[in-house]
Chain A
Amino acid sequence: MRVLILLLVIVAIGGWLGWFARQGSLPVAMPQRSEAGPDARWRYPEPEGRAMMLPGGDREMIHSLLNVPGQFKFGDFTWLADGVPAGPVWVRVDLERQLIAVFRAGHEIGSAVIIYGASNKPTPAGKFTVLEKAQDHYSRSYDAPMPFMLRLTADGVAIHASNVRPGAVTHGCIGVPLTFARKLFAEMQPGSRVYIEAGRLK
């Protein structure tokens, strides 16, 4: 009988660990949570932070992520660059999660929901750099304005402001909300890296 009880406890603990395995990490020593208002951060242990694998074989060390309460809706964005030191700025676009995340010096400073290319005009995945940026660009090919454009490829893929709403698709560009596009435009310079991750949409 005692053996049976012991077995049940082992199975229960195994199920508990399995629950955490599904979450992606086991319980370890604590992260600090800054009380900087509602947009607190998830901070990773200093000094090295947490590695994030990126397309093109790059690996960046993340020091903090923004703590977004709940789920984004289309049109939502968050931006918190207070207290973040100056440093290299790069962007990670996640097509599967429909998200864009901006990082500066390893800290996330902004995130938003995106719209991306249709299946017949897909957004390419990989590592890109900003070739040029234009605040009031007007696309001749598609006869439409592209405010706060950050050009990524020569054949027309760019990040620009768009009407981000459910069900909208683009012709390959990445559309972000207007206010977020304005802030992103100010941060990014020609040569800044943009990583586009397709995930399960490959």
Chain B
Amino acid sequence: MFRLNKRRSAAVAMALTAAIFPGGAAVGLTDSSGVYSGVVRVLRDPMSILSDRSPGQRSNAGLVQSKSEYASAPEVAPRERVLPTARTRGGPGGIADPGEGPGISSGAGSPVGPVGKAGAPQAGALPDGSLPVPVPALPGSGASSGGIVPGGPLPPPFAPPIPSAVPEPSAWSMMIFGIGLVGAALRRRRHLPQAPRLG
């Protein structure tokens, strides 16, 4: 293996160049305001050109009406949603607030579910913590006014779970390349004279 040292280091240098140079050159090539100098030029997609000049999407913060008369219009008071069945629930861990359906509070709070809360689980939560379509409260969970009407309250709006971050393909390849470098370095160390083991 030592005979191939020069070839191997040249190959490693090639791999490094292949990884680093296109990334750097591509940044220069796609710069629309620079002067083209490379052999390969990129034909830009119209949407990417428009996205580059765009100030971005409008944020929902601090919006004002452009017409002054419209801006001075009276603000409409928010309407509360009245559930058809008012309920009270007592007992440990139960919701004392009347009129609050199962899963509404946890839906607004955490998307994962009420697992892990100390004490009794929230009424209507499945053992694995996922939020079900609202089911009536557990029978006998507290002083309920005449039990649960099968009709039940309106289902709460479904809160989609927050997706976990997935690395980009280019980030993946960089990571694999780095791990490969570490592996190559470890292999190289094996051929060096080792320090005497402590007995």
B18 lies within 8 A of chain A by Cβ:
yes
Compute how far the CA of A168 lies from the CA of B70 in the bound complex, rounded to whole angstroms: 12
Which residue in B8, B14, B33, B69 is a CB contact (below 8 Å) of A144? B69
B147 lies within 8 A of chain A by Cβ:
no
CB distance from A78 to the nearest CB of B (A): 8
Are A20 and B26 in touch, CB under 8 angstroms?
Answer: yes
Interface size class of A (residues with CB under 8 A): 35 or more
A126 lies within 8 A of chain B by Cβ:
no
Which residue in B45, B172, B183 is a CB contact (below 8 Å) of A4? B183
Chain A contacts to B: CB under 8 angstroms: 1-2, 4-5, 7-9, 11-16, 18-25, 27-31, 33, 42, 44-45, 50, 52, 62, 65, 67-74, 94, 96-99, 101, 111, 113, 115-116, 118-119, 142-144, 162-163, 166-171, 175, 200-201
CB distance from B68 to the nearest CB of A (A): 8
Give the chain A neighbours of B47 by CB distance below 8 A: 24
With contact pairs A71-B52, A167-B63, A168-B64 given, residues A14 and B169 touching in the complex (Cβ less than 8 Å): yes
CB distance from A125 to the nearest CB of B (A): 15
Give the chain B neighbours of A67 by CB distance below 8 A: 32-33, 49
26 contacts between A and B (CB under 8 A): A4-B184, A5-B11, A5-B14, A8-B176, A11-B173, A11-B177, A16-B26, A20-B26, A22-B170, A23-B45, A30-B41, A30-B43, A52-B46, A71-B55, A97-B57, A99-B54, A111-B53, A118-B63, A142-B67, A143-B67, A143-B69, A163-B66, A168-B66, A169-B58, A171-B65, A201-B57
Which residue in B4, B42, B54, B169 is a CB contact (below 8 Å) of A23? B42
B44 lies within 8 A of chain A by Cβ:
yes
With contact pairs A23-B42, A30-B41 given, residues A1 and B1 touching in the complex (Cβ less than 8 Å): yes
CB distance from A195 to the nearest CB of B (A): 13
Give the chain B neighbours of A22 by CB distance below 8 A: 168, 170
Known: A15-B172, A72-B55, A175-B66. 15 other contacts (CB 8 A): A1-B187, A11-B173, A15-B169, A19-B23, A28-B43, A30-B36, A52-B46, A97-B51, A118-B63, A142-B70, A143-B67, A144-B68, A168-B64, A169-B65, A201-B57
With contact pairs A5-B15, A15-B170 given, residues A169 and B66 touching in the complex (Cβ less than 8 Å): yes
Are A25 and B43 in touch, CB under 8 angstroms?
Answer: yes
CB distance from B180 to the nearest CB of A (A): 5
Give the chain A neighbours of B139 by CB distance below 8 A: none
CB distance from A72 to the nearest CB of B (A): 5
Are B15 and A9 in touch, CB under 8 angstroms?
Answer: yes
With contact pairs A1-B4, A33-B36, A97-B51 given, residues A65 and B46 touching in the complex (Cβ less than 8 Å): yes
Nearest residue in B to A51 (C-beta to C-beta)?
Answer: B46
CB distance from A176 to the nearest CB of B (A): 12
Nearest residue in A to B22 (C-beta to C-beta)?
Answer: A16
Nearest residue in A to B63 (C-beta to C-beta)?
Answer: A169
With contact pairs A9-B18, A97-B50 given, residues A24 and B177 touching in the complex (Cβ less than 8 Å): no
Compute how far the CA of A169 lies from the CA of B41 in the bound complex, rounded to whole angstroms: 40
Interface centre among B40, B47, B58 (most CB of A within 10 A): B58
